């Protein structure tokens, strides 16, 4: 079996310029630079930096360079021009709202350094490669010997000899290895201090005068770790995600928007996925993943229904609730309340079973809803309704 | 017989005075579990009353609870910021089996807590799991006891309600369970599929096993490979998340396809290659189990 | 076998006022106070603190209270008077050069908290007892159940539940336990950050208004850890140790002054102890322990001879050298050089064996020394010479 | 036979280019030890020349040294500030037997390094020790080879030169040694008396054992108790420090009487109680060994 390294956990991606701030805070050398939201601001930063600068789109997507989101500018006017082209640009469906303007560096060589939490070994794992500047998964596929993986025992943290071993794999020149040892050590410090699930420097460059520097930075933060680090929550770029997902997060719902037309509202992540799969099985396409969680709070049901109904693609909405801790009557009350206060256009079909099932059926019947007890039936019916709409 | 918990289980509830802890303590006691102690720092000396007139003593520390009551199993209902610490406290006090229900423990904290549990020779189930139930014997966690019944099937799953769905169907079809185990939806958990399959193998009452997986990671694939070589009992498998997009977390922190790894297709293929009967829909699980039991 | 807890390692004791500075730096609550070297200074500090103060002798010895080295003063003049009595006082052979003047606290209860490195488990171990203010070894002997011992796994450090468990053993009141949890955690931080081999709060008190505070503090620092912490080296009170030991430390020699009359200069700690024991066996008393170490540097031999000879009790000096890495001819040269440059009154007897033994014998013979090859012979001869002197 | 090191030993020298490291590398090679690699960060690719024309390759890391040369044993001559790290590096690279000569490693660093070595399943001898020698086979450390000779006595000691004294006397009396081991004078060490006695028990060429202890700690007492129950071979013991005052460190960081514990009297009593023949003076060791060997 191929050794697969998986990033574990829900996570918050932050922008390159934010990641570089975290790096700078622990002492990792990064080029001077600032973020701009207007072309004039970009020109001012370029002026202040002097010399050649790089204007880089700040979006949560790879391949910015290929998409024309990264440009060199030799003077402030050119930086303004590039910024005006890049701001507002769409990259992989995401609109660019910010550019990072940094001093350009003369690059002698490019390497890769990354650390993430590996679920198989349940520990942080470093991956480094002297082949930097390109996608590390590509290097892994085409030239696996060019990557060194090193697991960090969480009881000891990254030990000095391990940091040196990583650096020694990157550079045969002892002066460069010494700098890289320090950078790797600091990267691990930033990784743990900010509860990251992933932190990456790509490329880590050697400049013309032999300095090792982080040119691009990518960091994902473990959402569970954010609780203890409220300062990091401010790094979240709400503009970079669909509005429905922002609303879901605020309502404490697990939600992922998809492209289909059958809206799904389920309690429990596994059951929610199985419900989506069943939609597909019966010939439909799910419009979303949504888990209302274990709570019986009717407010959550209301918020869930509103989020699903606000998607114009949705042609039918299905509820699939297995009452264990969640009480079916609470969910039923939430559905009735939501449809009373908000206009929900698509038809709603409901399956409820388990705790307080009988009371729930009564509530729904009184409000004019009919309900199923089998999962297959409700999904088949929802797909049919969506197809007919 | 049953696995991990049975009538010998002596349970301490960590976070017994909290909203979830108190509610589920009553439920667990009602299912026949011997709840011998509760722990809430600062509330030592108080008593938690359970419905049949039982009185559960509360202690400040798990250490004291173990010394005073001989507790051997713990269940954790404390908030995520304190849950990794609670797991380590239980292991440090010599608790052999620890069940962590709490969702949202930072992954780096779990990485350390899990190492601690292993160093102390304890077993952790979870976190972010519904716990487990050995019907008619003991329940630790939040699985609704009324959908279970004693019988010959072992159930192990990364999910909560999807497990209830499967177990409910089994029970309605008259097929009981030895133990139903939710191993949890987090990327770093204490007890994995292989651990459970191995326990079911050694349990002479378990005749067939339901294994419910989902996208993310390689735990199911490794379990299937292991089962082929080592199990010697029939397994019916189901994988949720065939329609999940890559790179997005599907509710569970661990339910995420990284790159091209951890897809439902990959897991289903591994099941089939290793002799695990695959249910396409949840409803098929019961049919396949009937087949495997020859009923 | 009784569970013996041993402090491991060479160590530097520091004064109470210095220990309290280390505690204050990590946030452990200690009463306000300052150190004084003159009665007037003590009066000024008492004046500034206001209210009742305690004047405490700063010496590396227990039992200061019983010796009259700790006094209450209700006003500045009284503080001056006490300070003038205490300064210059002898406590267990040590002269008091400094007093600590601190605000007096109303004490509701006294507890004990200590942490040291246990060599059996190779880990730090906490000992706490609600019976504070007295010698913990006495509590261990008379009421062992009043002590909780807790080993800290060095891979994890002191975990929160462990700190709480210690605090819970001291106080049943949750408010006090909470304060004590914090203090125990901070004590462990001070312990590891300063490379301590022992750190102790005795007593840890509860004040009349329910505050938990460290009233007395005792800290020993692992000498090997000092290398990385040069700031701590300044805490060493050279005045509190015999001049010969200061000189030995500066010459990088292991030296302990004793009360006998046979000076010993040996290479290797085990051989040095065995030589002392043999002095005793043959009816003499060793004047010192001295290990010149594995080096062959003649300067060390010179320094060693000077230190031994400066002790007026010494009636004879014996060398016992087993040449392995140490070359006998180097040691011989050192002896010849030292006796040439410095007048050494007591007779010197020498045993040399091992590496370059023949060359060494020649050097010594030329300088008029005779040498032995057997350890028993040289020791017997030295004892005899001392007895005749 | 011999214990811990023999002709199968493939040695890597950590700190080979330092003053002590280079000197002792030559000595070890001269004693017949197979020195296969050296490590000095930043000097990888260079070569260390030994006297018989051998050339020892130098690597930046122990990991590379192990991969390139199959080293299975390491000896550490690096300064104290880096020595605990060097020990962990060796264990991490899979070195099975690590000998740390360095004196002055902070005790809290050793506490962690020793845990690391155990977690990796390696064995550490030392630190602050002279190493060991299996005469005629291999030497790792700094014990002068010329005072040793092959034979039936195992020697284990906390001391350096005191061991040389004892071994020299044995050799002069025509009594050779299987292996002479210095376990080190620090309070926290990797291999203790029991570990060595246990190895000597399993070594069929070892017929009698010399155990040289000193004040401080309880290692000798535990070893004596263990020997009585488990060893089955005669032991001659010696304890240094009968005249040492309490509370003062006698050169070795571990040679200190704490309170009333760890005195020479206590240790000698324990030896006697457990059938260990006690030499009052070093010179008596040889006589007692002769007796125990029946010669």
Domain end position, chosen among D97, D125, D153:
D125
Q: Do D61 and A162 touch (CB under 8 A)?
A: no
Neighbours of C252 (CB within 10 A): 13
Asked if the peptide bond before residue D127 counts as cis, ω within 30 degrees of 0, the response is yes
Distance CA B38, CA B59 (A): 6
Residue C221 has pLDDT above 80, yes or no: yes
Task: Give me the pLDDT at residue A132, please.
Answer: 86
Per-residue burial over C345-365, b = 16 or more CB atoms within 10 Å of its CB, e = otherwise: ebebbbbbbbbbbebbbebbe
- How much is the pLDDT for C66? 86
Nearest to C322 by CA among D159, D268, B249: D159
CB A317 within 8 A of CB A349: yes
Which residues numbered 125-164 in A keep a CB inside 8 Å of some CB on D? 153, 155-156, 159-162, 164
What pLDDT is attached to residue A164?
A: 98
**Residues B56 and B171 both lie in one domain:** no
Q: Is residue D4 part of a domain?
A: no
Measured between alpha carbons, how far is D115 from D120 in angstroms, rounded to an integer? 9
Catalytic residue among D123, D137, D139, D252: D252
Q: What is the pLDDT of residue C42?
A: 96
* pLDDT lower than 50: segments of chain B: none
CATH number of the domain that B159 lies in? 3.40.50.261
CATH code (residue D64)? 3.40.50.720
> Across residues D233-239, what is the average pLDDT?
98
Q: What is the number of domains present in chain D?
A: 2
What backbone phi and psi angles, to 5 degrees, belong to B26? Answer: -60, -45
Q: What confidence tens digit (pLDDT) does each residue in C69-95 have? A: 999 999 999 999 999 999 999 887 788
H-type alpha helices, chain C? 16-26, 39-49, 76-86, 136-142, 160-170, 174-193, 223-226, 230-233, 243-250, 269-281, 298-309, 328-341, 357-366, 375-388
A123 DSSP β-pair partners: A118
Q: For the residues of chain D, what is the DSSP string, one character each?
A: --SS-STT-EEEEETTTSHHHHHHHHHHHHTT-EEEEEE-TT-TT-EEE-TTS-EEEEESSHHHHHHHH---EEEE---HHHHHHHHHHHHHTT-SEEEE------HHHHHHHHHHHHHTT-EEE-SSS-EEEETTTEEEES--GGG--EEEEEEEES-SHHHHHHHHHHHHTT--EEEEEE--SSSS-SS-HHHHHHHHHH-TT--EEEEEEESSSSHHHHHHHHHHHHT-S-EEEEEE-TTPPTT---SSTT---BTTBS-HHHHHHHHHHTTPEEPSSHHHHHHHHHHHHT-
CATH 3.30.470.20 domain position(s) in chain C: 1-31+106-240
Q: Do B283 and B153 lie in a common domain?
A: yes
- Tell which wins on pLDDT, A373 or C277: C277
User: Is-contact D170 D176, C-beta < 8 A?
Assistant: yes
**B17 inside domain:** yes
Residue B132 located in a structural domain: no
Residue C168: the pLDDT is 97
Residues B105 and B216 occupy one common structural domain: no
Residues 6+ apart with CB under 8 A from C123: C117, C151, C152, C153, C154, D111, D115
Q: Which fold has domain C32-104?
A: Dna Ligase; domain 1 (3.30.1490)
| pLDDT of the residue at A332 | 92
Q: Within a domain: residue B133? A: no
- The model's pTM: 0.93
Q: Is D5 domain-assigned?
A: no
CA dist list (Å): B273 to B266, B267, B270, D105: 11, 10, 5, 55
pLDDT less than 70: residues of chain A:
1-11, 295-296
C-alpha C117/C-alpha B164 separation (Å) is 52
pLDDT of A262-314, one tens digit each?
Answer: 999 999 999 999 999 999 999 999 999 999 987 667 788 889 999 999 999 99
Q: Is there a contact between A246 and A222 (Cβ–Cβ < 8 Å)? A: no
For residue D176 the two structure tokens come to 């050779």
- Specify the pLDDT at position A252: 87
Contact residues for A312 (Cβ-Cβ < 8 A; gap 6+): none
Tell me how far apart the 2 most distant CA atoms of chain A are, in Å: 79
Chain D residues touching residue A168 (CB < 8 angstroms): 41, 44, 60-61, 64
Asked if A199 and A187 touch (Cβ cutoff 8 Å), the reply is yes
Mean pLDDT of C174-186: 98
In chain C, where does the domain assigned CATH 3.40.50.261 lie? Answer: 242-388
B243 in the same domain as B149:
yes
B210 and B260 assigned to the same domain: yes
- A242-388: CATH class: alpha beta
Residue ranges of chain C that CATH labels 3.30.1490.20: 32-104
Residues D73, D199, single domain; the answer is no
Q: Do B86 and C164 touch (CB under 8 A)?
A: no
Shared domain check, B118 and B158 = no
Residue B54 domain boundaries: 10-125
| Contact yes or no for C183/C215 (Cβ under 8 A) | no
**Short-list B142, B151, B208, B217, CA closest to B181:** B142
C227:D81 CB<8 A: yes
Q: Judge if B150 and B282 occupy the same domain.
A: yes
Summarised one tens digit per residue, pLDDT across range B39-82 is 999 999 999 999 878 999 999 999 999 999 999 999 999 999 99
Q: What was the pLDDT predicted at C10?
A: 58
Average confidence (pLDDT) over C109-113: 96
D3 is a domain residue: no
Q: Do C156 and B63 touch (CB under 8 A)?
A: no
- What is the rounded average pLDDT for all residues in chain B? 95
Q: Which of B60, B68, B289 is nearest to B173 (CA)?
A: B289
Give the model confidence (pLDDT) of D127-166 as tens digits.
999 999 999 999 999 999 999 999 999 999 999 999 999 9
CB pairs < 8 Å spanning B and C: 35
Banded pLDDT at C296 (limits 50, 70, 90): low
Active site residues of C: 112, 200
Tell me, yes or no, if D261 comes closer than 8 A to chain C by beta carbon.
Answer: yes
SS (H, E, C) A10-41: CEEEECHHHHHHHHHHHCCCCCCEEEECCHHH
- For the segment C157-167, what is each residue's pLDDT rounded down to a tens digit? 999 999 999 99
Who has greater pLDDT, D103 or C133? D103
Please give the class, per CATH, of domain A1-31+106-240. alpha beta
Measured between beta carbons, the chain B residues lying within 8 angstroms of A9 are 107, 186-187, 249, 253-254, 256
Q: Which residues contact A43 (CB under 8 A, 6 or more apart)?
A: A76, A77, A79, A80, A83
Residues in CB range of A379: below 8 A, 6 or more apart: A275, A278, A279, A281, A282, A284, A318, A320
Residue A357 falls in the annotated catalytic set? no
- Of B10, B139, B252, B267, the catalytic one is B252
| Averaged pLDDT for residues C251-270 | 93
| Catalytic residue flag (residue A112) | yes
Q: Which residue among A112, A171, A188, A357 is the active-site one?
A: A112
* Average pLDDT in chain D: 95
Q: Which residue of D has its CA nearest to A150?
A: D92
- Give C9's pLDDT tier (boundaries 50, 70, 90): very low
In this structure, the answer to whether residues D25 and D118 fall within a common structural domain is: yes
Whether residue B154 sits in one domain with residue B249: yes
């Amino acid at each position: 079996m191929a050794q697969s390294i998986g990033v574990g956990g829900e996570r918050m991606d932050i922008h390159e310029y934010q990641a570089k701030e975290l790096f700078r805070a622990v002492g990792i050398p990064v080029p001077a630079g600032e973020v701009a939201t207007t072309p004039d601001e970009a020109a001012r930063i370029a002026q202040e930096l002097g010399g050649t600068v790089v204007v880089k789109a700040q979006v949560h997507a790879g391949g910015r360079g290929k998409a024309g989101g990264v440009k060199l500018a030799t003077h402030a006017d050119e930086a303004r021009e590039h910024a005006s082209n890049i701001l507002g640009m769409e990259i992989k469906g995401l609109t660019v709202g910010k550019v990072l303007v940094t001093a350009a560096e003369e690059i002698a060589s490019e390497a890769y350094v990354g650390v993430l939490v590996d679920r198989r070994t349940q520990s942080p794992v470093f991956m480094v490669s002297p082949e930097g500047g390109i996608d590390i998964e590509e290097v892994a596929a085409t030239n696996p010997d060019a990557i060194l993986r090193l697991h960090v025992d969480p009881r000891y943290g990254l030990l000095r000899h391990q940091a040196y071993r990583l650096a020694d794999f990157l550079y045969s020149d002892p002066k460069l290895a010494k700098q890289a040892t320090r950078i790797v050590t600091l990267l691990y410090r930033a990784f743990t201090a900010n509860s990251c699930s992933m932190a990456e420097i790509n490329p880590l460059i050697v400049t013309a005068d032999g300095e090792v520097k982080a040119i691009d930075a990518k960091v994902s933060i473990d959402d569970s770790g954010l609780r203890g680090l409220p300062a990091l929550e401010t790094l979240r770029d709400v503009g970079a995600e669909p509005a429905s997902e922002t609303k879901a997060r605020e309502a404490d719902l697990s939600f992922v928007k998809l492209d289909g037309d059958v809206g799904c509202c389920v309690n429990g992540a596994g059951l929610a996925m199985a419900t989506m799969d069943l939609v597909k099985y019966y010939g439909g396409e799910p419009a979303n993943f949504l888990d209302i969680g274990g709570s019986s709070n009717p407010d959550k049901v209301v918020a869930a229904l509103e989020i699903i109904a606000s998607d114009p693609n949705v042609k039918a909405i299905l509820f699939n609730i297995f009452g264990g801790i969640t009480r079916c009557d609470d969910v039923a009350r939430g559905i009735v309340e939501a449809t009373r206060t908000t206009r929900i256009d698509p038809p709603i079909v409901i399956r409820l079973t388990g705790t307080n099932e009988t009371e729930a059926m009564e509530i729904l019947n009184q409000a004019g809803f009919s309900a199923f007890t089998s999962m297959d039936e409700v999904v088949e019916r929802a797909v049919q309704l969506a197809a007919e709409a | 017989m049953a696995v991990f918990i049975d009538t010998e289980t002596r349970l301490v509830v960590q976070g017994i005075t909290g909203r979830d802890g108190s509610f589920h303590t009553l439920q667990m006691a009602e299912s026949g579990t011997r709840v011998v102690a509760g722990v809430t720092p600062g509330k030592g000396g108080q008593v938690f009353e359970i419905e049949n007139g039982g009185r559960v003593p509360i202690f400040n520390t798990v250490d004291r609870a173990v010394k005073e009551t001989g507790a051997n199993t713990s269940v954790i209902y404390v908030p995520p910021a304190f849950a990794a610490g609670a797991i380590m406290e239980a292991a440090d006090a010599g608790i052999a089996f620890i069940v962590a229900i709490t969702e949202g423990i930072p992954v780096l904290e779990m990485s350390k807590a899990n190492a601690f549990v292993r160093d102390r020779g304890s077993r952790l189930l979870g976190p972010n799991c519904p716990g487990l139930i050995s019907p008619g014997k003991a329940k630790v966690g939040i699985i609704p006891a009324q959908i279970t019944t004693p019988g010959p099937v072992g159930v192990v799953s990364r999910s909560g309600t999807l497990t209830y769905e499967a177990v409910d169907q089994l029970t309605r079809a008259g097929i009981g369970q030895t133990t139903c185990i939710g191993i949890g939806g987090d990327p770093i958990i204490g007890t994995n599929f292989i651990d459970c399959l191995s326990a079911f193998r050694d349990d002479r009452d378990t005749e067939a096993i339901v294994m419910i997986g989902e996208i993310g990671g390689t735990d199911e694939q490794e379990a299937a490979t292991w089962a082929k070589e080592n199990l010697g009992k029939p397994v019916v498998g189901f994988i949720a998340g065939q329609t999940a997009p890559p790179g997005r977390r599907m509710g569970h922190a661990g339910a995420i396809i990284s790159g091209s790894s951890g897809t439902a297709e990959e897991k289903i293929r591994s099941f089939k290659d290793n002799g695990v009967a695959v249910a396409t829909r949840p409803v098929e699980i019961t049919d396949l189990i009937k087949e495997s039991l020859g009923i």
